[in-house]
Structure formats: structure tokens, C-alpha cells
Amino acid sequence: MTQTTDVVVIGGGVIGLTAAIALQERGARVAVWAADDPADIVSTVAAAVWYPSHTDEDPRVLHWARDTHAELGRQAGGGVPGVVARPTRMLLRHRPAGLPWWADATGDLVAEPAAAPYTTLLRFTAPTVEMTPYLAWLRERVEAGGGRVLRRRVQRLAEGFDVAPTVVNATGLAAGRLAADPAVHPARGHVLLVANPGLTTSVRDEDDPAGITYVHPRQHDVVLGGTYDLNAWDTRPDPETAAAIRRRCIALVPELAAAPVLGERIGLRPARHGGPRVEIEAAGPGGGRLVHAYGHGGAGVTLSWGCAAEVARLALGD
């Protein structure tokens, strides 16, 4: 492996796999080290709808979001497994001073008045992703490009330098320990899955005083959410939280009232004070390159492809 690997990507979630593909497209020989089976990673739990949730305005983040929206749109048009471009409605309870900072990234967002208790309705197209088939497709792309995806849990990021001169740290929540970054913290997310009664439009009410509320249809089910509990590490089911999520979603979309619950998912989003960390530092023997790519919180899918392009640029020195 030492002779044939240019970059080791540590982390097998959506950030790590898209970074690996971007690196391969620029000629790098890549290995991905994934600590867990794909079924056990937080990327699989994600509702995975394009939207920069809980992400502060930042020109660099806007660039990533725009590029990712465009790439996911192309993938939806190309029949990539799990990717669908859906009409989206976002209901606001407070009249905004203007369009949201991320509006330009959608390419088609319009605002119009809404009936009480709302003030404004935002309409735009948002790519949605079913993560289980999508992560499998990403892995297949890495392997088709000559890369390897290996199960390996590291104790130190420096382990990657044993086999490659460049390491990408896409370890998500584990980056708090591996990169000694106290800004990293969990944001617990709880969603329900219910049978789809025929819905095709995503609906979101982020300002609901009872909690964040969103309804995201998929092919065979609907994702109902949710929560964004900072510094909460407990991933055990909470029946009261589940019941509250269902009540809020039915109030938002009454067609869900008779939809049977199929299951629930709880995961810890890898949030970070100050926003995502995507930067390079000298590390390893001979000043090897260590590129950090973590802290995307609930916007990993939303920023993935734009972020991957920057990771590849940093890693390959362009």
C-alpha cells in the first residue's frame, strides 16, 4: 500500500467518500479508512435534504452549497440511486428582511406571503438523498476509480502517514478527539419514518416554537423531524420526543395523520462552533499534508461536493 497510495482519507461518511472521489478525479490514488460499517454511521441516519441547516452565513460555505446543489441536481437528472430533486416549501413565522443568505445557491427560490401563523413562504427546488443507496453508490465510485475502502479505526491521525504522504481528516464527531478540537460537539437528531401517503413536496417549519419541524418524502416513506439537541450524547429512543415530532408534522401536513410509523432513527450530527473546519496543516514525516474536513453539523450532504473540491485542491497543492 505504501507504494501505491497518494492520499488516505480517514472517515467513510458522505464527506470522506465525496472527498475521495474528488481526489481521484484529479489523479490521486486514494484509500478510505472507515471506522464503522456504513449502516452504523451518522450519514446513514441523515434526512439528507439540501439545506444549510444551522449554518452561519459565510462566502466559502455559500460556494460549497451552490456547487453541491448543482452537482446533486445533475445526479438527480442522471438517475443516481437515491437522489431526487423535489419541490420544497419553507414556512417562516417572522417576516424576513430579505431573501436568506443561501437563496442564490438554489437558483430558483421565490418568496411570497403566507397565511397566519406564518408570514412568508419560500419555494425552491432541493435535491433529496436516500443515504443507504447513495453511500453504496459513492463507495462503488471510489472502488471503480481504483480506490480501496477499508475498515480501520485509528487512534491517531498520524497513522495515515505510515502509508501515504497526505491524509484527509473526515472523521466527523471523532475529530474532537483526533484533532484535539474542543469546538466539536454533538447535535442529537431524532427522526421518524412513516409510510408515504403520496407526498412529493418537502415542507419545513424551522420556527415552530414547539421544535424544528420538517416533512421530507422519499420513494417509499417520509422522514419526519426533528430535533437539534446540542451536546446531547444519548442515542436511545425517547417515546415522548417521537410522539411530539409526529404531532408537529401532522399539524404541518395533515395528510400524514393516518400514515403508519415504520421506524425511527437517532444520530449525533458532528457540529462545530465556528462552522466547518476545512484547512491544511503540515504534519507527519517530512512535512506531510494533513487536510481537515469536519464539523459540518446537519449540512454534510448540503456542502459535500463543494467541500470535496476544496479538500482535493488543498490536498494536491493546487
State residue 45's pLDDT score: 62
State residue 48's pLDDT score: 87
Domain assignment of residue 302, given as a range:
7-316
Judged by average pLDDT, the poorest of 32-36, 45-49, 297-301 is 45-49
Would the pLDDT of 98 be above 50?
Answer: yes
Q: Percentage of the chain surpassing pLDDT 70?
A: 95
State residue 41's pLDDT score: 58
Number of domains composing the chain? 1
Using 50, 70 and 90 to split pLDDT, how confident is the model at 1?
very low
**207 burial via Cβ count (<10 Å: 0-12, 13-18, 19+):** middle
| 215 vs 284: which has the higher pLDDT | 215
Using 50, 70 and 90 to split pLDDT, how confident is the model at 244?
very high
Using 50, 70 and 90 to split pLDDT, how confident is the model at 4?
confident
Q: Are strands 221-225 and 184-195 parallel, antiparallel or unpaired?
A: antiparallel
Would the pLDDT of 43 be above 90?
Answer: no
Residue 273 lies in a domain: yes
Residue 1 lies in a domain: no
Residue 2 lies in a domain: no
Would the pLDDT of 40 be above 70?
Answer: no
φ, ψ for residue 274, nearest 5 deg: 95, -5
* CATH assignment of the domain containing 280: 3.40.50.720
Residue 12 lies in a domain: yes
State residue 44's pLDDT score: 61
Rounded mean pLDDT, 221-228: 94
pLDDT, mean over the chain? 93
Using 50, 70 and 90 to split pLDDT, how confident is the model at 234?
very high
State residue 36's pLDDT score: 83
Helix or strand run (H / E) with residue 277:
strand 277-282
The tens digit of pLDDT for each residue in 282-296 reads: 786 677 899 999 999
- State the Rg of the chain over Cα: 20
Q: Percentage of the chain surpassing pLDDT 90?
A: 88
The tens digit of pLDDT for each residue in 107-129 reads: 999 999 999 999 999 999 999 99
State residue 272's pLDDT score: 97
User: How far does CA 187 lie from the centroid of its chain?
Assistant: 13
Rounded mean pLDDT, 242-255: 98
Would the pLDDT of 273 be above 80?
Answer: yes
Q: 134: which 3 cell numbers?
A: 447513495
C-alpha atoms less than 13 angstroms from C-alpha of 6 in its C-beta half-sphere: 15
The tens digit of pLDDT for each residue in 18-37 reads: 999 999 999 999 999 999 87
Q: Are strands 261-272 and 184-195 parallel, antiparallel or unpaired?
A: antiparallel
Q: 181: which 3 cell numbers?
A: 478540537
| 107: amino acid identity, one letter | G
Would the pLDDT of 3 be above 60?
Answer: no
